[in-house]
Amino acid sequence: MAVILDGKRIADEILSDAQSRVEQCVRHGVRPKLAVILVGDHPASASYVRSKARAAERVGIATELVRLPETVSQATLLAEVDRLNAAPDVDGILVQLPLPSHISEHDVIERVDPAKDVDGFHPFNVGLQAAGRARVWPCTPLGILEMLRRSNLPVHGKHAVIVGRSQIVGRPMARVLLQEHATVTVCHSYTKDLRAYTASADLLVVAAGRPGLVRGDMVQPGAVVIDVGIHRVDGRIVGDVDFPSVEPVAGAITPVPGGVGPLTVAALMLNTVALCEQRRRPEGVSS
């Protein structure tokens, strides 16, 4: 029987910490502010954006939501990014992905001022992450790292296997875990004999976008299993991990929903405060 890692409870702890840091900023006359750009009304994206706004309100971060129609031109979207880059009171800019296919995500991500890149997706920040000098980590890997820390599950010296190599989760997760002294293997859809890797993982992070991909016979007894997937299948919400067969084998496991999702949102709040501290209170970050 695995320990169930309660993402909601750990996210609440992280949000309390973020709130204390927001209060410090406010005492110094600065209120952190997050701007979110949402293009179109994709229901999942709209729901994520709502939970980000709720969390920001809870911890005292100001928000600005920019809603643009699905048909918006790339030039108009880039002009909005430019406006937010230039706004002195905006600390973090998040462009909710995915974007419609007529818009280049690369061009938009690269237009965000790296000092306001709250997702840590800009190539400049990816370079700093790769160089071991990250200013911000992408929110999902950061949330997972915070959960492991706060659950007393050390990663140094462990074999961490990541299934999935997306820019949002898989790749930055690998950079985070390397920084934390894990031995890291990244698997993806072209990996031959996936089980050979997953079965040797002490820590298994699954972000493959395929419901139920990892089953109990693919997991080492006692492993820590983090499920980043979220899918609606036959009216139920499930992850990339087949929970019924993996939970009896694992040492600890995140549920879906209520695992990684709330942590991503909480980590976004940490990143917003961190960017505010770095940009507007460079002398007083820890005072």
Interface with ligand GUN: number of residues (CB under 6 A) = 8
Catalytic residue among 33, 52, 116, 158: 52
Q: What is the 3-state secondary structure (H, E, C) of 77-133?
A: HHHHHHHHHHCCCCCEEEECCCCCCCCCHHHHHHHCCHHHECCCCCHHHHHHHHCCC
Closest contact distance (angstroms) between CB of 7 and ligand GUN is 15
**Pair 56, 269: CB distance under 8 Å:** yes
Is 182 one of the binding residues for ligand GUN (CB under 6 A)?
no
Binding test (CB under 6 A) with ligand GUN, winner from 15, 77, 96, 120: 96
Binding test (CB under 6 A) with ligand GUN, winner from 38, 103, 139, 273: 139
Binding test (CB under 6 A) with ligand GUN, winner from 66, 87, 97, 115: 97
User: Is residue 52 among the annotated active site residues?
Assistant: yes
Catalytic residue among 96, 129, 227, 240: 96
Q: Is the CB of 45 or the CB of 185 nearer to ligand GUN?
A: 45
Is 99 one of the binding residues for ligand GUN (CB under 6 A)?
no
Is 168 one of the binding residues for ligand GUN (CB under 6 A)?
yes
Find residue 35's DSSP bridge partners: 64, 93
Closest contact distance (angstroms) between CB of 230 and ligand GUN is 10
Q: Look-up: residue for tokens 């990663």? A: 155
Q: For residue 115, give the nearest of 96, 131, 135 by alpha carbon.
A: 135
| DSSP element (H, E) containing 16 | helix 7-27
Q: Is the CB of 52 or the CB of 158 nearer to ligand GUN?
A: 52
Is 204 one of the binding residues for ligand GUN (CB under 6 A)?
no
Is 272 one of the binding residues for ligand GUN (CB under 6 A)?
no
- C-alpha distance from residue 257 to each of 240, 248, 253, 262 (Å): 11, 18, 12, 9
Greatest CA span in the chain, whole angstroms? 56
User: Is residue 96 among the annotated active site residues?
Assistant: yes
CB crowding 104-139: b at 16 or more within 10 Å, else e: eeeebbbbbbbbbbbbbbbeebbebbeeeebbbbbb
Binding test (CB under 6 A) with ligand GUN, winner from 119, 202, 240, 277: 119
Q: Is the CB of 37 or the CB of 186 nearer to ligand GUN?
A: 37
Cα–Cα dist 164/190, whole Å: 10
CB crowding 17-55: b at 16 or more within 10 Å, else e: bbbebbebbeeeebbbbbbbbbbbebeebeebbeebbeb
The one segment of 54-62, 94-102, 186-194, 214-222 that binds ligand GUN by CB under 6 A: 94-102
Q: Is the CB of 60 or the CB of 141 nearer to ligand GUN?
A: 141
Binding test (CB under 6 A) with ligand GUN, winner from 34, 68, 95, 214: 95
Is 142 one of the binding residues for ligand GUN (CB under 6 A)?
no
Give contact residues for ligand GUN (rule: CB under 6 A): 94-97, 119, 139-140, 168
Catalytic residue numbers read 52, 96, 119
